[in-house]
Structure 1
């Protein structure tokens, strides 16, 4: 008798049923039910194809494959194709189908809007199970590296350096040609280098022209919509900036948007979308100092949403910090400032445009002639004409935000714990720190949409009893079927008796 556990004989013939191999509690069954409960046609997936030629794969099968892959840290279309052959869970999920990796990849990049609607359905499911509080949200962004190297990203300064380098090389080749007079072999070799460098120079000149014509600041050749951005500690990556809004109750993302812009102008748009998703404005939103922009406070105020945005440090200090602008007291009724030396700075009432990049802010200027005779002027300013204070058109809203942050410090401390939770899992645990697709922001949105859909499904699976989820999704499937096939009355009679819960009956009545 052997002292070790011995495996089965490989030549032994066995019969098994796929349904019996997959345990009833396996999360792959949740994926199957979830996708079957969706109205894929209404979401924008293509479900009708011309009849000639080879039949297409149903979008439900490809969506199931992707959700399974993302939930198991597999995003590559080639890897997913392999899983269709060797993974029993995938074989059960797709009923033995093995789509080609090109078919799998095309499904993802061709359905960004539809995938976003699948994500929205996970938010609706979470809301149904009371997993979304809707009273406190936190917003932030994370950089996901694009499929574009820094070498293939160009800005005007970088292009000028390349052109200058090529001009120097061309001058060197001209000198070498003069020295190689009569040596035909050497001249031919140098001419080949000259032609190569001239072609390179033309390429960079074309990039230069493209930047001027499109009024952009960068060009990325592999993934045109990606941009070089600061990720942390002045380290840059060619990446996309993903804006997210996360609900405080169970750290569930309720919205995302893939951008190639920084955070300064992102808050207002995300708040508007959050208002639509939650259906009300009775919530607080927490943001970090990257979103500290006057126009965005104005947008939030017009929406009627209370925001708490971290106040950044003063960008420029006076020679003596005791004379920083924060120590100047503003009198709203008289529209003037009083400086630490008790002098009054007044305005002529005119508004001046201050440009910062593409944005323009209206400012009032405040000053006094008393600066010229003030003994403390050297501590206050280096301007020989005296101190000039600027006050933005959004100054009142900026001040109100500062007061809110100071009065709700404990509440604001929750921001990082709320919004960083999904990033920690997605980037650290799942290793999804880069965008899988390339060539457009739409393709990147599809990848990010699947990431957040998988994250929400995992959160819901972990928080809700699987049997409850199955009942909910079966109900969705039945009501969907009854709506489209006219079987509402029959299904209600066959599947729902008087002993069922009021919720199920009410759900059918509101189909």
Structure 2
């Protein structure tokens, strides 16, 4: 059930993708999900699950730019969960000759449904909506482009001049961008929060791939074991630092962790022996 997935840029692998939700206070994963899709459509599903687990939507979710998808930002809005999703850079094809004339510098007037360009000219829509790949959008343009002194700075189009597209999800993208700009320090914490468990699992423990690969269900069990091992270890370390906790509780939890890790090691070793036998 694994699929050909874009890992980053143009790099692809046949793989599963592990999503996780991590608590910011103690770096404890509260949820994980093994999928065979990339990050672009994962945010909404993980937010729904977090709302169910936490029984509240009174939290802010941090994501990197791989999750920046208009429809997913709308899902977050519908769930009433604030997001801070990194804003992707503008593609080269969408860049104006002068960055000061990129579309983000065109001001949208919701009341009139128009854009105003840096030269002060209004761009209007004909009212029609067009179908994109996964969304619908309107186009905005003006005949003022023909004689505009800044045309060469604004667009390379020889016929239509500058054309602005506004999708059905633009308002949610703009709301997220505003929150990111207003909370730069909060967003910077994302990597330290979510990468903490993966750093321990993949680098310290060497769990850098899924051993059981035949089905998504089995792969999920494989990943679940390691998340449980991580959480037991992490919680034990937190409790150990709390001087008010009795020693018996710490000793009991440490024994449980060691037993569980021994089971994981046995399971992994058994799989390695099977692989070696098959290779022979």
Task: Give the shorter-chain TM-score range.
Answer: 0.7 to 0.9
Which of the residues 422, 426, 443 maps onto 2:218?
A: 443
Q: CA deviation at 1:392?
A: 1.3
CA gap 1:290/1:233 in 2 versus in 1, 3 angstroms: closer
Tell me what 2:139 maps to. Answer: 365
Tell me what 2:107 maps to. Answer: 329
Q: Decide which structure has greater strand share.
A: 2
Q: Does 1:392 align with 2:167?
A: yes
Q: Does 1:264 align with 2:40?
A: yes
Greater RCO, 1 or 2 (C-alpha within 8 Å, sep 6+): 1
* Helix, strand or coil at the partner of 1:298: helix
CA distance in 1, matches of 2:78, 2:148: 42
> In the comparison of the two structures, how many residue pairs are matched?
244
CA gap 1:441/1:285 in 2 versus in 1, 3 angstroms: same
Q: CA deviation at 1:471?
A: 7.8
Tell me what 1:467 maps to. Answer: 248
Task: Say if 2:5 and 2:14, in contact at 8 Å, map to a contact too.
Answer: yes
Normalised by the length of structure 2, the TM-score is 0.82
Which of the residues 91, 97, 106 maps onto 1:319?
A: 97
Tell me what 2:78 maps to. Answer: 302
Cα root mean square deviation, aligned: 1.7
Greater C-alpha Rg: 1
Q: Does 1:382 align with 2:156?
A: yes
Tell me what 1:426 maps to. Answer: 201
* Helix, strand or coil at the partner of 1:461: helix
The equivalences for 1:94-173 within 5 A come to none
Tell me what 1:455 maps to. Answer: 230
Unpaired segments ≥5 residues, structure 1:
1-224, 473-511
* Helix, strand or coil at the partner of 1:282: coil
Which shifted more, 421-430 or 456-465? 456-465
Tell me what 1:353 maps to. Answer: 131
Q: Does 1:273 align with 2:49?
A: yes
Deviations 1:393-435 (A, max 9, x none): 1222211111111111111111110000001001101111111
* Helix, strand or coil at the partner of 1:464: helix
CA distance in 2, matches of 1:409, 1:467: 43
Q: Does 1:413 align with 2:188?
A: yes
Which of the residues 177, 192, 200 maps onto 1:402?
A: 177
Deviations 1:357-377 (A, max 9, x none): xxx211111011111222322
CA gap 1:254/1:237 in 2 versus in 1, 3 angstroms: same
Q: CA deviation at 1:234?
A: 4.5
Q: CA deviation at 1:279?
A: 0.9
Deviations 1:169-192 (A, max 9, x none): xxxxxxxxxxxxxxxxxxxxxxxx
CA distance in 2, matches of 1:233, 1:340: 33
CA distance in 2, matches of 1:462, 1:295: 40
CA distance in 2, matches of 1:335, 1:305: 27
Deviations 1:285-329 (A, max 9, x none): 111111111111111111111111111111220122221111111
Tell me what 2:68 maps to. Answer: 292
Task: Say if 2:22 and 2:28, in contact at 8 Å, map to a contact too.
Answer: yes
CA distance in 2, matches of 1:433, 1:234: 21
CA distance in 2, matches of 1:422, 1:364: 43
Q: CA deviation at 1:458?
A: 0.9
Normalised by the length of structure 1, the TM-score is 0.46
CA distance in 1, matches of 2:236, 2:138: 55
